Amino acid sequence: MMNRNRWIGVYLLAGIAALVLSYRWQDAPLLSNDGYQYLDAASHFAAGKCLCVEIAHFDEQVTMGRMPVPFTHFAPGYPLLIAAISRAGATPEGAGYIVSATGFLLTIWLIWELALTLRAKPVVVALLSPLWIFHEAALTYAASVGTDSMFTAALAGICALMARDSREDEHRPVFLLALGAVAGSAFWLRYAGLFLLFVAALYIVWRAWRSPKTRFYACGALAIEGLLVATVLVRNILEAGSWRGGFTSGGGHSLRFVLTETAKAVYHLVFGDRAPAGIDFWTVLFALALVAACSAWWKVQWRSDFNSAAVVWSGILVAAYTAGIMETALTTIAWSLNRYIVPLYPVVLAGLAAVFSIPATRRQVLSVAAMALSVVAVQSRSLSIPPPPAPHLIAAADLQQHVESGVSARQWLLDHVPPSSAVVSVNGQAMHYLLQRPTVSVIEPEDSSNRMDDTFFHAVMKRFSAHYLVVFPGEKSFATSPQDSIPFLHGLISGDIPHWLNRAASTRNTAIFECRDCVAQ
């Protein structure tokens, strides 16, 4: 039987192989709307400027009425990592990929670390680990410029540190210092780390109360965590006037919607979300294997070395994080529960490995193997479907078409919009990436508290001295959905042009309108 380091080494190599094989298939690095903001913030910081962006998309960013906009709507950690790596010679996109791929590999190691600390049998961990390595969302986030992979590693790291610390008891209290640092770092990566901070702090206080010898280290851990959190909060207050940095306007969803989306997210967490859901042989096999694996628990004799405290604290963390993201969906524009629930999966896999190891009978192992096989079979359907094209690729194809003067729409915009001037655009975050011009991006109306009529657009264009408004009348992709849901833009495309605008240039898929009185101050 291989020792733990060899097991972990084998599965890390499997993770590297998965990254290599999926790199071309995913067309990595994958860019998304959030990714454009991260890259812009990293580029500004790497150039010795502010931690800021020249993209105004969310209400709080548009309200500021100036460029650049302080980068507070997202946590600052990820663009700082990109900036640090890019200054060593990598492109910003490549640096973002390196961080995400590293988070993916760290998570594989942490699944093993947490599961084995919980006294799981290596053979059971070996059966469940591939569910992360070949998980469609995990591989997508590993190939993306985004915080998902590294935040997942931070969440798993918190659980692993709590498990190791509770097992070591008073012998190695230094784990408490690491726990405070990782919990604070999670908040630097993503504001959802706030839901992890309280559990980590509560655990540290519990350890100090239970073990007096650890109190010095517990105080240090709380100080590290508090300092990391306070730095971000104070910056948000100074730059944006709110400790939250963003998410203070627009959004909010019904309880029924949030509960329904949470249930769907749990299903897609297991089986993937690109292929249509349904009941077939593999899902039935999964259900039967799960019942068979759980049936052994009724007569089980729990081992004396079972780390029940770590299981309880990991469960509290999972519950707190789930409740936190549900509350966020109820009160803000953040509602992509499929995405937000993925970071829990490695912890759940490690916990299941520990539980299914009691007892690790042949029947139990075969049941877990059947479960894993059925999940991988269904996940493979999602893996077989390539990701949709990035928003900037959609915009780039549209902008290659020629306007009336014979140049491409992209070149026309570059010729007419100076580097310091702003443009207002649908799919604006991607447009900024393509044009490298300050851009006011049109947000979906359900994510805004503004009344998005012609008066609003006129005021925004005057506020930013933006001479041009860009829409994509021939494009029906997800990146341009505001065109159909905002009556003003829908009317503009249909020919209902207000007096303060005139059509400056157009192609089959692109229309550029000039504001008559948006003169730079």
Q: What is the DSSP-derived secondary structure letter of residue 343?
A: G
Tens digit of each residue's pLDDT (9 = 90 or more) over 169-200: 667 888 999 999 999 999 999 999 999 999 99
Q: Do 151 and 344 form a contact (C-beta atoms < 8 A)?
A: no
Average pLDDT over residues 108-129: 92
Distance CA 58, CA 253 (A): 17
Q: Which of 311, 314, 312, 337 is nearest to 324 (CA)?
A: 337
pLDDT at 289 over 70: yes
pLDDT score at 28: 82
Confidence at 521, pLDDT banded by 50, 70, 90 = very low
pLDDT at 246 over 70: yes
Q: Do 453 and 488 form a contact (C-beta atoms < 8 A)?
A: yes
Q: Which of 204, 200, 169, 168 is nearest to 184 (CA)?
A: 200
Secondary structure (DSSP) of 274-336? SSPP---HHHHHHHHHHHHHHHGGGG----TT--HHHHHHHHHHHHHHHHHHHHHHHHSS---
Residue ranges of domains in the chain:
4-30+72-383, 391-515
- Which amino acid is located at 42 in the chain? A
Handedness of CA 53, 54, 58, 63 (dihedral sign): positive
Q: Specify the higher pLDDT residue, 106 or 388.
A: 106
Q: Specify the higher pLDDT residue, 328 or 184.
A: 184
For 38, 59, 241, 427, the CA distances from 250, given in Å and listed in that order, are 22, 8, 17, 19
Percent of all residues in the chain with a pLDDT value above 70, rounded to a whole number? 94
pLDDT score at 306: 60
Residue 194 structure tokens: 């706030």
pLDDT score at 305: 58
Distance CA 498, CA 489 (A): 11
Tens digit of each residue's pLDDT (9 = 90 or more) over 428-470: 999 999 999 999 999 888 888 888 888 999 999 999 989 999 9
Percent of all residues in the chain with a pLDDT value above 90, rounded to a whole number? 46
Distance CA 506, CA 407 (A): 11
Q: Which of 95, 161, 80, 139 is nearest to 350 (CA)?
A: 161
Distance CA 246, CA 236 (A): 9
- Which amino acid is located at 50 in the chain? C
Which of 104-118, 200-214, 276-290, 298-312 has the weakest average pLDDT? 298-312
Tens digit of each residue's pLDDT (9 = 90 or more) over 192-241: 999 999 999 999 999 888 888 888 999 999 999 999 999 999 998 888 77
Length of the chain: 521
pLDDT at 91 over 50: yes
Distance CA 457, CA 132 (A): 45
Distance CA 345, CA 282 (A): 20
pLDDT score at 156: 96
pTM for the model stands at 0.92
CA 521, chain centre distance (Å): 38
Confidence at 1, pLDDT banded by 50, 70, 90 = very low
Confidence at 149, pLDDT banded by 50, 70, 90 = very high
Residue 178 structure tokens: 């690491």
Tens digit of each residue's pLDDT (9 = 90 or more) over 38-78: 999 999 999 888 899 999 998 888 888 788 999 999 999 99
CA 356, chain centre distance (Å): 30
The backbone torsions φ and ψ at residue 469, rounded to the nearest 5 degrees and listed phi first, read -120, 125
Distance CA 230, CA 224 (A): 10
Average pLDDT over residues 313-317: 92
Q: Specify the higher pLDDT residue, 59 or 139.
A: 139
Residue 251 structure tokens: 């959004």
pLDDT at 96 over 90: yes
Mean pLDDT over all residues of the chain? Answer: 87
pLDDT at 502 over 50: yes
Q: What is the DSSP-derived secondary structure letter of residue 177?
A: H
Q: Which of 224, 153, 216, 218 is nearest to 190 (CA)?
A: 153
320 C-beta neighbours (distance < 10 Å), count: 17
- H or E element: which one contains 70? strand 69-70
Instruction: For the chain, report the end-to-end CA distance as a whole number of angstroms.
Output: 74
Q: Do 231 and 203 form a contact (C-beta atoms < 8 A)?
A: no
Distance CA 175, CA 152 (A): 19
Q: Which of 408, 403, 486 is nearest to 447 (CA)?
A: 486
pLDDT at 353 over 60: yes
Residue 140 structure tokens: 């997508």
pLDDT at 150 over 90: yes
Residue 502 structure tokens: 């005139």
pLDDT score at 384: 77
Query: 3-state secondary structure string, 453-519?
Result: CHHHHHHHHHHCCCCEEEECCCCCCHHHCHHHHCHHHHHHHCCCCCCCEEEEEECCCCEEEEECCCC
pLDDT score at 301: 54
The segment with the largest mean pLDDT, out of 157-161, 302-306, 489-493, is 157-161
Q: Specify the higher pLDDT residue, 453 or 332.
A: 453
Confidence at 283, pLDDT banded by 50, 70, 90 = confident
pLDDT score at 387: 80
Q: Do 59 and 448 form a contact (C-beta atoms < 8 A)?
A: yes
